[in-house]
Amino acid sequence: MNTQPTPKLDVWEAYCDECYYHMWRLRRKTERGWYDGFHIHTGEEAKGLCETLNKLERELNEAREETIRTREFMDYGFAKAQEELTDMTAQRDRLAAVLQQCREDSVELVTERDRINAIIASVEARQK
């Protein structure tokens, strides 16, 4: 998980737009087009709204980062679960092979026991 936090820089700015009747303009710092942003009457409103927009932008970025971290954690957990499932399946297959061998050995032992019991019975029969 290599999530680098995004810088907590303000992305909105407010300034007095002398070319637009000295109204206050709000825009993203990266926008420089004629129609980018919007105008507000007073500097106090513009600065307050700018602070609010920057705060909301930071909260949005934090939520995005948390979403990315959560997704990466879930992907890691899913990959780890798949790996564990593969390991468990291989272990189950090994145990099934051992169990099958034990069953075969058990059948051989029962057969050998029956053969030995038959020999003992025949020896006892001859001794009588």
What does the pLDDT profile of the chain (128 residues) look like in tens digits? 455 655 668 899 999 999 999 999 999 999 988 889 999 999 999 999 999 999 999 999 999 999 999 999 899 888 888 899 899 999 999 999 999 999 999 999 999 999 999 999 999 888 87
pLDDT, position 10: 87
pTM: 0.57
C-alpha 126 chain-centroid distance: 77
Contact 29, 21 (CB under 8 A): no
The residues, ordered by sequence, that sit 6+ positions from 41 with a Cβ below 8 Å of its Cβ are 23, 24
